[in-house]
Amino acid sequence: MADRPVEPVTSAYYHARAARAGIPLDGTFELTARCNFDCRMCYVHGAAQTSDGELSAGQWIALAREARDAGLLYLLLTGGEPLVRSDFCEIYEATAQMGFLISVNTNGSLLTDAHYDLFDRYPPMRVNVSLYGADDDVYEYVTGRRQLDNVCGAIRRLRAMDVPVTVNFIANRVNAGQIEEILALADSLGAIVRPTAYIYPPLRAACHGEDCDLRPSARDAAAAHYRIQALRSGPQRMRAIADGLIRPDEEGCVDDRAPDGRMRCRAGKSAFWVTWDGRLLPCGMLTKPAVPLAPGGFAAAWERLKAETAAIRMPQNCVACPDYRHCQVCAAMCLCETGRFDETPPYMCAMTKEVLRLFRQGRDVS
């Protein structure tokens, strides 16, 4: 069965130190909102597929230098689909020489010999490939494209080059029945799987067709989450989750107790996100706080972002909830689901309660 991603101890150590010191250790560059796929549930997909307003390669490279000087170490290049940019190789090659550990998010369908040659000369730390289904009918429904074979071929080629690959898989209404197949497929390709059963409402995207919302009900999302954990965990781990010793979503963003109601993740503490049009966010799922980035202004923007993020408080109902420490609720979920930071998202609340019920039920009958 495909391995679960485990954060290296060194990464956790440096992130903890960076969060305490307020250093922007971990950054995401959202190079574009454009994509050659047309996924119904995309979080950033724009109705217009144009490069207008995108930062130029020179601007991204200059920004990378500024962020490096401020302490950036882990850099993720993402989109949309970053490889739609004709200057992706220019951006990647320049940043790969700056002393970052670089990862790339991609749908895996646009890799060419030029990209493979580039990754051979400058291996990424990891390539994260999204898999949307285990057959092309599901692929086409979700993404508008029949690309499964092409994507699997790309993963094989990357693995043959010894490039670590993580498969990102989001269980939705259409592909949730293929969880076992996806896990087996990733395993056969030599990839680690990072599955999730929670889909953020697409706050930053334009609805671009019918059936944009592939979110299952909270109850069905919980069932998918439980099934994923059951397939990847032995009985001891399942029992530890049921007994409250391990959180049900170890691989999520939450990594801090923060009992005073502050955000529990690294966003705006040691992590940041730069949008395709040059705004600095704590996290790509948020629309605020957003600080415009001027040339030469990264350090000041980061200080402002930290201050504004530190003022965010989770809903009191969540902080006081006995299941809070087991719940993956975050500020982005609150904002996306309710429009406010201080309002409990009913969907996540229902999903967590159902997840915990399933784990406890599983423990009690075993």
**Residues at the interface with another protein (CB under 8 A):** 8, 10, 14, 17-18, 21, 23, 25, 68, 71, 73, 96-101, 120-123, 125, 162
- Minimum distance from residue 22 beta carbon to another protein (Å): 9
**Which residues, other chains included, contact 37 with Cβ-Cβ below 8 Å and sequence gap of 6+?**
81, 107, 109, 143, 144, 145, 147
- Minimum distance from residue 158 beta carbon to another protein (Å): 12
User: Which residue in 223, 229, 204, 219 sits closest to 288, CA to CA?
Assistant: 204
Question: 279: part of which helix (H) or strand (E)?
Answer: strand 279-281
- Minimum distance from residue 350 beta carbon to another protein (Å): 41
With respect to another protein, which residue has the nearer C-beta, 68 or 215?
A: 68
Question: 192: part of which helix (H) or strand (E)?
Answer: strand 192-196
Report yes or no: 178 and 133 within 8 Å, Cβ to Cβ. yes
- Minimum distance from residue 305 beta carbon to another protein (Å): 18
Q: Name the pairing type of β-strands 279-281 and 271-274.
A: antiparallel
Mark 77-109 as b/e (b = at least 16 C-beta within 10 Å).
Answer: bbbbbbbbbeebbbbbebbbeeebebbbbbbbb
With respect to another protein, which residue has the nearer C-beta, 23 or 155?
A: 23
With respect to another protein, which residue has the nearer C-beta, 96 or 171?
A: 96
With respect to another protein, which residue has the nearer C-beta, 68 or 262?
A: 68
Residue bearing tokens 């420490």: 325
Which residue type, as a one-letter code, is found at position 244?
Answer: G
With respect to another protein, which residue has the nearer C-beta, 61 or 125?
A: 125
Report yes or no: 172 and 41 within 8 Å, Cβ to Cβ. yes
With respect to another protein, which residue has the nearer C-beta, 96 or 335?
A: 96
- Minimum distance from residue 12 beta carbon to another protein (Å): 13
How many residues comprise the chain?
Answer: 366
- Minimum distance from residue 49 beta carbon to another protein (Å): 33
